Amino acid sequence: MAEFEEQTISEQLPLLQPLELTDSFLVRESGRARRMSIHVHPHGQVEVVVPKRTRSADVQSFVVNHRDWIEKARRSMGVDNMPSVALFPAEVRFQFVDQAWTVTRVPAKSRIRLRESGGELRLHGAQDDELKMFVSLQNWIKEQGKLHLVPRLEALSKETGLGFRRSQIRLQRSRWGSCSSRGSISLNAAALFVEPALVDYLILHELSHTRHMNHSARFWNLVDSLSPGARNSDRALNRAWRDVPAWLYRR
């Protein structure tokens, strides 16, 4: 993810909306933000984080003034055109476990619910409540992460002798994983869309942080001993965001 932060604080007046989604960028108010910043996420979605009570006109001006930087950041991610709103998927396919499901929406007056049957995911609910359908599907994918990613983490931990205290599956926009100083490892459910060799590298990378909480030469020597060619794998993992469908982050 690319990030740009404003150097001076703009005038703070009410936004037209607390959360505004346009065809080109998402605006998010933050009580902790002291100045405006721009984040370019995988797939090219632009998010502008602003202090509370920032004027919409100031946000628009900020984005326009930094459009060259935004376009350069998006090109570095292999994105040429501004992204449109993510369409609902017809299929979910996980490279990591080589499995796929067709997705079917079933009109119903009841609340949104997801049912898995064989190779099909059936989403029941009001068809005009698409956002809740996205959330339901995303929650299912996080559960799949617990089902498939955690056992692989446990297996590689046992194989390498690098222990961890607890595991967590999240759906992060900018990180594949993390390891806390207390030995808690978090993995991104999006890794399910990535090839197995890179997922193993990701897990070994995070397990290595249980020994070295940095990216020092000792850390990289350990990672390379566990996953030869670690630097190349690291670069490939950064490019693997392109394999993750944009709808996974629809909110």
User: How is the beta sheet containing 25-30 ordered, strand by strand?
Assistant: 2-5, 37-40, 46-51, 25-30, 19-21
Q: Average pLDDT for residues 62-83, to the nearest whole number?
A: 74
> Whole-model pTM?
0.72
Q: Mean pLDDT in the chain?
A: 83
Angle formed at CA 45 by CA 44 and CA 48, multiple of 5 degrees: 125
- How high is the pLDDT of residue 172? 85
As beta bridge partners, residue 49 has 28, 37
Q: Which residues contact 171 (CB under 8 A, 6 or more apart)?
A: 138, 141, 142, 188, 189, 190, 248, 249
| Phi, psi for 12 (deg, rounded to 5) | -110, 110
* Closest C-alpha among 179, 101, 194 to residue 145: 194
Chain centroid offset of residue 158 CA: 27
How confident is the model over 18-68, as pLDDT tens digits?
A: 333 344 577 778 888 888 888 887 666 778 888 888 887 788 788 888 888
Which of the four pLDDT bands, split at 50, 70 and 90, describes residue 7?
very low
Give percent of the chain with pLDDT exceeding 90: 48
- How high is the pLDDT of residue 5? 52
- How high is the pLDDT of residue 225? 97
The pLDDT of residue 91 is above 70: yes
| CATH 3.30.2010.10 placement within the chain | 91-100+129-249
* Closest C-alpha among 99, 98, 96, 63 to residue 82: 63
Task: Record the tokens describing residue 233, joined without a space.
Answer: 């794998």
Q: In the CATH hierarchy, which top-level class contains the domain 91-100+129-249?
A: alpha beta
- How high is the pLDDT of residue 18? 32
| Phi, psi for 186 (deg, rounded to 5) | -110, 130
How confident is the model over 143-196, as pLDDT tens digits?
A: 999 999 999 999 999 999 999 999 999 998 778 999 999 999 999 999 999 999
